[in-house]
Amino acid sequence: MKKTPLKKIGKIGRANIGANRRLRALFRDKGIYGCELNLKDCLGDFTSAFAHRHKRIWYKGDVEKLSDWKQVVIACAECHLLIENDKDLTEKLFLKLRGTE
């Protein structure tokens, strides 16, 4: 197997790392550790991760937008999969959980 060096982290990658750092602190301060969506077949806090309101390209590497409380929830893998391609469900849940557009 040929060994090649790892690719350097670009602007978008650095923005994602910075946003994730902020989000971990924000959700820890609010005491939220598990899935907030609780949809069908929810796994709770198992496999939970940040789920954004829009696709990541929409944020264009902006750390402020990526880490905005109104733009992200914690979702388990099952719930994240359900909202991933259903824009109407995503908007409905974000309005319910975050209250504003």
**41, part of any domain:** yes
pLDDT tens sequence across 68-101:
999 999 999 999 999 998 999 999 999 999 986 5
Question: Tell me: the pLDDT tens digits for 12-61?
Answer: 899 999 999 999 999 999 999 999 999 999 998 889 999 999 998 899 98
63 is in which domain, residue-wise? 32-98
Tell whether 66 is covered by a domain.
yes
pLDDT band at residue 4 under the 50/70/90 scheme? confident
The total domain count for the chain is 1
Domain membership flag for residue 44? yes
Residue closest to 38 by CA, chosen among 68, 72, 73: 73
| Phi, psi values for residue 37, rounded to 5° | -85, -40
Q: Is residue 77 part of a domain?
A: yes
- Give the global pTM: 0.85
Residue 74 lies in a domain: yes
